[in-house]
A and B are shown apart, each in its own frame.
Chain A
Amino acid sequence: MLSIIGALALGFVLGQRGWLGKAGAWAGPASTAGVALLLFLIGAKIGSDAEIIQTLGTLGLEAALYAVAAVTGSLLAVKILERLLVDRLEKGEEG
């Protein structure tokens, strides 16, 4: 947690001050490649985990239903709150 904030802050300061020179321009493409590598590593972790693969057969469908419900619920709640709060903020600005 602290290391993530630290890495983000260090990168931000180095990028803002231009201390990385021309190398800074590589940050965008490097993060894209890094994201792809991360996804591969996460996929491989799940795929090589015998326990996950074994339980997918028996509990997979049930687990997927909970995952879909939690994601759908999150999206609905965020959109509802966003609408309520934005409406209120806009009314406040008018008054």
Chain B
Amino acid sequence: MIILILFPLALGLLAGYLGLTPAGYALKADGLISGVLLLVVFAVGVDMGRRQEALRELALLGPRALLVPVGVALGSVAGAALVGLALGLKWNEGAAIGAGFGWYSLSGVLITKLHSVRLGTLTFLSNVLREALSMVILPWVHKYLGKLAAIAPGGATTMDVTLPLIAKVAGKEVVLVAFASGFILSLLVPVLVPLLIGIGK
């Protein structure tokens, strides 16, 4: 599974870096990724429908499913706040970087506007790296920490870009939990980021 993840990701990074992608790809990529994503999610849906044990297993997960977005929100903000303090920022500045939950476009723009270009760029880059890291470590997280923990690293991205990958690695039964968690976290980004930046002013 790790080869399925690392190989295409590394190949893509390299192709992009070496300029092998069509001109202006970075700008057009979002539309292309969204289109492919819809097709893949459709295929995941068909597969879920054909094997109905996924829904029964979801029912077994029950209320435990709700703890995922709560844990991700608390853990991301606390972890990043600690790093911020260690690197000489105010706690709330570090916390705001963590509150991007992997949604790099929105959190980067918000912090650039509300704080500074430097902190905004740092937020953008940190959340890009979070998305990439969450995809690379997914098989290990699933193996050693379990199904629910496998949803945690992706943060807000588990409602879209990392959803099919989680379905593949952790199983179809966590698809709805992952979507719900990503959705809740996505709603929190535009609320928490300005709130945390505002605390320091």
Contact = CB atoms under 8 A, between A and B. Distances in A.
Chief secondary structure at chain B's binding surface:
helix
Given A39-B8, A43-B11, A49-B26, A77 B64 contact: no
Given A31-B167, A52-B128, A55-B121, A44 B44 contact: no
Nearest to B62: A89
Interface string B112-154: 0000001001101111111111110100010001101101110
B93 to A, nearest CB: 10
A39 B17 CA distance: 15
Contacts of A16: 49-50, 52
Say which size band chain B's interface belongs to: 35 or more
Contacts of A82: 64, 67, 71, 146, 148-149
Contact of A40 (B12, B78, B151): B12
B160 A43 contact: no
Contacts of A38: 33, 36-37, 40, 161, 164-165
Given A59-B122, A66-B126, A77-B75, 13 more contacts: A11-B42, A34-B36, A34-B164, A38-B165, A44-B21, A45-B25, A63-B129, A70-B79, A72-B75, A74-B153, A75-B153, A77-B72, A79-B149
Interface of B: 4-5, 7-19, 21, 25-26, 29-30, 32-33, 36-50, 52, 63-64, 67-68, 70-72, 74-80, 82-84, 87, 94, 97-98, 101, 118, 121-122, 124-135, 137, 141, 145-146, 148-149, 151-153, 155, 159-161, 163-165, 167-168, 175, 179, 183, 186
Name the 5 nearest CB pairs between A and B, nearest first. A43-B12, A11-B45, A47-B16, A15-B49, A73-B79
Interface of A: 1, 3-5, 7-18, 20, 24-25, 27-28, 30-32, 34-50, 52-53, 55-56, 59-60, 62-82, 85-86, 89
22 contacts: A4-B41, A8-B45, A8-B175, A12-B48, A30-B40, A30-B43, A31-B43, A31-B44, A34-B39, A35-B4, A37-B40, A42-B132, A45-B33, A50-B26, A59-B122, A64-B129, A67-B130, A70-B126, A75-B145, A75-B153, A76-B75, A78-B68
